Amino acid sequence: MAISGSKPRGRPATGRAVSAAERMRRLRARRKAQGLKEVSRWIEAGPVAIPPYSSHRRLEVLSLVMHVLIAEKMLRDPALAEHARRNIRRWKARDAGDLPQGLLQWERILERPTTEIASIMTEPSERAAQLRQSSPFAGLLSAGERRRIHEALRS
């Protein structure tokens, strides 16, 4: 019911609305006409297995763990953020200023206080995962630290 003086919301009524059940019947008929066959069957319940992580998921976890370690180092020594800034400046000069969007975002993030930088780089969010894919923190972990992280995640 529209309030007087206001426009009705939504699509205009056509008088041809069909029920959800009728829409489903029509969909099934179209699929059948296309030669698709509906298959439904019972699957025997067995022990619930935890699906293995995909390699992509494993790499995300690996990246998060590495960034947590880097963040801890940066909180102890805030001057390490300058290393990331130098990396970005060097990559900008090498690539004539044509940097991926993620590194441009890091450039802005690295202007913030160290605690905020550490918080952003260790977030478990999708945004932070995307940022970690183009990380400017190369060179802040030693080969031994990286090896230990890889070994820990392998087991």
The domain limits of the chain are 55-154
DSSP label at residue 114: H
pLDDT digits (tens, 9 = 90+) for 105-151: 999 999 999 999 999 999 988 899 999 999 999 999 999 999 998 88
DSSP result, 24-90: HHHHHHHHHHTT-----------PPPPPPPPHHHHHHHHHHHHHHHHHHHHHH-TTHHHHHHHHHHH
* 134 and 100 Cβ atoms separated by less than 8 Å: yes
pLDDT of residue 114: 93
Of 140, 130, 126, 33, the closest CA to residue 76 belongs to 140
pLDDT in tens, 34-92: 887 777 776 666 676 656 656 778 888 899 999 999 999 999 999 999 999 999 999 88
Q: How confident is the model at residue 24 (pLDDT cuts 50, 70, 90)?
A: confident
Q: Please check the confidence at residue 155 and state whether its pLDDT lies above 70.
A: no
The pLDDT, as a whole number, for residue 52 is: 62
